[in-house]
Amino acid sequence: MSKKNIAVLTSGGDSPGMNAIIRAVVRTCVFYDKNVFGVIRGYDGLMEGDFMSMNARSVKGILSQGGTILKSARSDFFRTIEGRKKAAINLKSKKIDGLIVIGGDGTLTGAHLLNEEHGIPVIGIPGTIDNDLFGTDSTIGFDTACNTVKSCIDKIRDTANSHNRLFIVEVMGRDAGFIALNSGVSTGALEIVLPEMNTSIDELLESVERGAKNKKTSNIIVVAEGNRLGSPFEISKSIISRYPKIDVKVTILGHVQRGGSPSSLDRVNASILGVAAVEGLLNGKSDVMVGLVNNHLEYTFLQQAIFNKAPLNMELHRIAKILSI
Ligand code: F6P
């Protein structure tokens, strides 16, 4: 418990629940009588020395807010040795003896390199809607994003039904299909097109045909942005060229998925992980990500969290197929 000064930052794409993590980190530091500094705009702020001293009241009222009060950035300069050296000099000059980073795989990669090159003790907390990190069942923001997608597709379903239309809905997730798979099941999609699978256009067309035979009045095809079949517009074209009479519409949900008040699950998990990150750091842990696996806290080496593939529950895809009949 010899550490005295701890810094926290959010980096990469923001996710709902990042504020809940910041609150937990700051208040746990105060609880253990440590000084805590927020770094503004992620690694950019770290390299520019943009730090602010925080206390328990600095984080009042943020538990329910989306986004991140510390701001975020995707920093190209921090990817360089020179950039990380600049950041390390700032941390050392401010006598920071532990850094907590909140973000996705790019953020955790940066933290690992900072630790490897400059010996700065670091702990990562998974904050991304993509859910693509190994060592935690659910990244903070994933549950909220899935709930947002569910609400949007439910609304699309109403209008799809009224007009007997087929909608192709593109969701985020970069090169991972977690959001698509989860929201496809929760909204009763006809098909779910994932980056992890080689779905062919013929398979989609077969499902569309089956739907028509079974007198379905609306169809939703959920496609992950990183899927291998192509853009939703290309998929739409292929369907129309085979079935010109089908009324096909495309909706790209985009950044609406990143905003909003975090769900109860994200708030609770964010609180657990925020406390665990500070306690882990104070107990000498470093170069690890803290996560929840089967409801148990686990510290996974950053390199493993980034490079091991987070498992997608393919059973859900089979279930969706059965239920879309
Ligand atoms: O990683 C989160 C994420 O929202 C991805 O799902 C998406 O591909 C990407 O970020 C979008 O990034 P940006 O907001 O920089 O366009």
Confidence class for position 182, pLDDT limits 50, 70, 90: very high
In the chain, where the domains are located: 5-141+262-307, 143-258
What pLDDT is attached to residue 309? 87
The model's pLDDT over 243-280, given as tens digits with 9 standing for 90+, comes to 999 999 999 999 999 999 999 999 999 999 999 999 99
Q: Which fold has domain 5-141+262-307?
A: Rossmann fold (3.40.50)
User: Do residues 104 and 10 touch, judged by C-beta distance below 8 A?
Assistant: no
CA distance 174 to 132: 9
Question: What pTM did the predictor assign?
Answer: 0.97
Starting at the earlier edge strand, list the strands of the sheet with 122-126: 51-54, 35-39, 5-10, 98-103, 122-126, 288-293, 296-301
CA distance 312 to 196: 8
The predicted model gives 41-54 an average pLDDT of: 98
CA distance 94 to 18: 24
Same fold, 5-141+262-307 and 143-258: yes
Nearest-CA residue for ligand 1 atom 2 is 13
**130 catalytic, yes or no?**
yes
What pLDDT is attached to residue 2? 75
Mutate to test the pocket of ligand 1, among 10, 129, 175, 179 (most ligand atoms within 8 A of CB): 129
CA distance 54 to 35: 8
Q: Residue 204's closest CA among 186, 225, 227?
A: 227
The predicted model gives 24-33 an average pLDDT of: 98
User: Do residues 175 and 293 touch, judged by C-beta distance below 8 A?
Assistant: no
Nearest-CA residue for ligand 1 atom 9 is 174
H or E segment and range at residue 292: strand 288-293
The predicted model gives 82-111 an average pLDDT of: 98
- Signed CA dihedral, 204, 210, 212, 216: sign only: negative
**What string of DSSP letters covers 222-234?**
EEETT-SS--HHH
> Which residues line ligand 1 at a C-beta cut-off of 6 Å?
13, 74, 104, 128-130, 172-174, 225, 258
- Active-site entry in 97, 105, 130, 143: 130
> Which residue has 């000498």 as its token pair?
284
In percent, the amount of the chain with pLDDT more than 90 equals 98
CATH number, domain 143-258:
3.40.50.460
The model's pLDDT over 286-296, given as tens digits with 9 standing for 90+, comes to 999 999 999 99
* Position 1 pLDDT exceeds 60: no
CA distance 65 to 92: 32
Q: Which residues contact 174 (CB under 8 A, 6 or more apart)?
A: 130, 132, 225, 226
User: Do residues 111 and 101 touch, judged by C-beta distance below 8 A?
Assistant: yes
CA distance 257 to 15: 9
Confidence class for position 57, pLDDT limits 50, 70, 90: very high
The Å distance, Cα 1 to ligand 1 centre, comes to: 37
Starting at the earlier edge strand, list the strands of the sheet with 248-252: 191-193, 219-224, 166-171, 248-252
pLDDT mean across residues, the chain? 97
The model's pLDDT over 101-141, given as tens digits with 9 standing for 90+, comes to 999 999 999 999 999 999 999 999 999 999 999 999 999 99
The Å distance, Cα 106 to ligand 1 centre, comes to: 11
> Strand 191-193 vs strand 219-224: parallel, antiparallel, or unpaired?
parallel
Q: How far is CA 287 from CA 5, 166, 172, 257, 306, in A?
A: 17, 47, 28, 30, 12
The model's pLDDT over 191-243, given as tens digits with 9 standing for 90+, comes to 999 999 999 999 999 999 999 899 999 999 999 999 999 999 999 999 999 99
* Position 3 pLDDT exceeds 90: no
CA distance 99 to 108: 12
CA distance 40 to 133: 24
